[in-house]
A and B are shown apart, each in its own frame.
Chain A
């Protein structure tokens, strides 16, 4: 009888522990969402008032004059990020294919560690590397040096995503292609790659979103430019850089433009991430 009571007690205690554990998990998960909501709320509240047509279409005004926009920075960011993507996408996808196809090889294992390390390198260091590699030898700041720094940031994301996606493709699908007399390169390009397309694209989109707002490596590479510059070998303005300069300036008008620019940037990054989610679920290949 006494034994039975003891059992009941321990069961009740376990149920209680279970509840506490469950509530803790939910509570902590909610806490992780709070900062994001606060950031979005704050940026929207402060920024949306200053988003106007002028912001998108006008150039910055000289110090002291009111108004102006960030047209040069929007164009610059798009150009720099596009060049980064052109560099990082082919290299990243091909490396990802190599890693998924040669998981045991020594080069594969070495490359995998290298990718992990590259992912952990602080972005400012990548900026310094681009500065030493390109800015110093070429004798001046340039958009292309910024693109190289950002491409190095984007690479690990694309490589990892490609590798992980391709690893999920069952071997039997490749076997089917081999059994039809399809040579290896075509098996990879026409069977494996299309089957992993959604995952690879997701990696690319997340990569672009990641580097879009990166500022540190651009400080001593693409630098900044008060005018619209289309030549990638010249210094260029970017959205994160203009936010940096304007937000730290003493002029209220500039600070307001920085808020507007922040809102545009966050909205764009959010949009890219949403597209990535849609691509990942809509284009998912069923095996």
Chain B
């Protein structure tokens, strides 16, 4: 880790989010880097999900939400780009696996192309499906049943299918919103191994309420509390010598 030059890919500057009159995020400023796993942790309601939902403009689906500040993706303020284009460059995986129930495994992987009316040649589609499923460590398990419905898979497999679906669009950043909270321990460790491997292809921002998970997979960790970014730094430093008392208390299980 030391000595490696990290290129920032996403810069958040002075970001504030309001839901109606309520302020959900207070002046967040932080950078995210290429080929790196970032974890954002904190107790429920601290604003960690709100934060990453801003990164692909999903916060706009909540009525009455308002955003101030800048989010720069490769230097370009993504709050000024069409949200549809932003979402194709920043993929997202949710708490509960949500494959499209009417689609086959194959179609689920290339759903981002199909639903957007982007035509793929059969050979290209085949290649994208194989590469994406290989990256999400699912290819071996499903290569013989690509024409089955995605919902026939187990929970952990479905979540890896959702990761493949996000990867198929070749995003710059992959947002993971508590991706293992609905999974059993075995499926969870599968996904964690996958996250570590995926950082070679894509920058990862992982929201988790699981402290140990943040410690296991991430290189950078942020701790948020009540809409504030309390502390952000290398995972090693944050876990061993936390600067803020609240971080220390959270890590030692005093709250959250």
Residues on A facing B (Cβ under 8 Å): 170, 172-173, 175-183, 186-187, 190-191, 194-195, 197, 285-287
A170-B98, A186-B116, A195-B101 known; A180+B162 contact, CB < 8 A: no
A176-B100, A191-B100, A195-B101 known; A182+B116 contact, CB < 8 A: yes
Q: Which residue of the partner chain, among A181, A190, A197, A287, contacts B84 with CB atoms under 8 Å?
A: A181
Query: How long is the Cα–Cα vector from A176 to B165 in the complex, in angstroms?
Result: 10
- How many A-B pairs have beta carbons closer than 8 Å: the answer is 75
Is the Cβ of A286 less than 8 Å from the Cβ of B112?
Answer: no
Query: How long is the Cα–Cα vector from A287 to B169 in the complex, in angstroms?
Result: 23
Interface stretch (choices B3-11, B87-95, B131-139): B87-95
In the complex, 20 of the A-B residue pairs with CB atoms within 8 angstroms, ordered by the A residue number, are A170-B98, A175-B61, A176-B162, A178-B61, A179-B58, A179-B87, A180-B111, A180-B112, A180-B165, A181-B87, A181-B112, A182-B116, A183-B84, A191-B100, A194-B102, A195-B100, A195-B102, A197-B102, A285-B101, A286-B151
Least CB distance from B102 to A in Å reads: 4
Cβ of B112: which chain A residues have Cβ within 8 Å of it? 180-182
Q: Which residue of the partner chain, among B115, B149, B151, contacts A177 with CB atoms under 8 Å?
A: B115
- Chain B's closest residue to A182 (CB) is B115
Q: Which residue of the partner chain, among A181, A190, A195, A286, contacts B88 with CB atoms under 8 Å?
A: A181
Is the Cβ of A175 less than 8 Å from the Cβ of B84?
Answer: no
Query: How long is the Cα–Cα vector from A195 to B111 in the complex, in angstroms?
Result: 14
CB neighbors of A among B91-115 (8 A): 91-92, 94, 96, 98-102, 111-112, 115
Cβ of B162: which chain A residues have Cβ within 8 Å of it? 176
Query: How long is the Cα–Cα vector from A194 to B101 in the complex, in angstroms?
Result: 9
Query: How long is the Cα–Cα vector from A187 to B61 in the complex, in angstroms?
Result: 13
B166 within 8 A of A: yes
Cβ of B86: which chain A residues have Cβ within 8 Å of it? 181
CB neighbors of A among B63-105 (8 A): 83-88, 91-92, 94, 96, 98-102
Extra pairs beyond A178-B58, A179-B87 (10, CB < 8 Å): A173-B98, A175-B61, A175-B94, A176-B94, A178-B87, A179-B94, A180-B91, A181-B83, A182-B84, A194-B102
Is the Cβ of B166 less than 8 Å from the Cβ of A179?
Answer: yes
B56 within 8 A of A: yes
Q: Which residue of the partner chain, among A181, A182, A190, A287, contacts B101 with CB atoms under 8 Å?
A: A287
Cβ of A187: which chain B residues have Cβ within 8 Å of it? 115
Query: How long is the Cα–Cα vector from A285 to B150 in the complex, in angstroms?
Result: 11
Query: How long is the Cα–Cα vector from A180 to B151 in the complex, in angstroms?
Result: 18
Least CB distance from B3 to A in Å reads: 35
Query: How long is the Cα–Cα vector from A173 to B84 in the complex, in angstroms?
Result: 17
Is the Cβ of B87 less than 8 Å from the Cβ of A180?
Answer: yes
Cβ of A183: which chain B residues have Cβ within 8 Å of it? 84
Query: How long is the Cα–Cα vector from A178 to B61 in the complex, in angstroms?
Result: 9
- Chain A's closest residue to B101 (CB) is A285
Cβ of B102: which chain A residues have Cβ within 8 Å of it? 191, 194-195, 197, 285
Cβ of B58: which chain A residues have Cβ within 8 Å of it? 175, 178-179
Least CB distance from A199 to B in Å reads: 13
Query: How long is the Cα–Cα vector from A286 to B91 in the complex, in angstroms?
Result: 25
Query: How long is the Cα–Cα vector from A168 to B85 in the complex, in angstroms?
Result: 29
Cβ of A286: which chain B residues have Cβ within 8 Å of it? 101, 149, 151
- Chain B's closest residue to A190 (CB) is B115
Least CB distance from A167 to B in Å reads: 15
Is the Cβ of B151 less than 8 Å from the Cβ of A287?
Answer: yes
Query: How long is the Cα–Cα vector from A137 to B98 in the complex, in angstroms?
Result: 54
CB neighbors of A among B140-185 (8 A): 149, 151, 162, 165-166, 169
Query: How long is the Cα–Cα vector from A286 to B149 in the complex, in angstroms?
Result: 9
Is the Cβ of A180 less than 8 Å from the Cβ of B96?
Answer: no
Query: How long is the Cα–Cα vector from A43 to B72 in the complex, in angstroms?
Result: 74
- One digit per residue, 1 when the CB lies within 8 angstroms of any chain A CB and 0 when it does not, for chain B 210-224 equals 000000000000000
Cβ of A195: which chain B residues have Cβ within 8 Å of it? 100-102
A181-B84, A181-B87 known; A175+B115 contact, CB < 8 A: no
Cβ of B91: which chain A residues have Cβ within 8 Å of it? 179-180
Least CB distance from A66 to B in Å reads: 55
Query: How long is the Cα–Cα vector from A181 to B169 in the complex, in angstroms?
Result: 10
- Chain A's closest residue to B102 (CB) is A194
Least CB distance from B171 to A in Å reads: 10
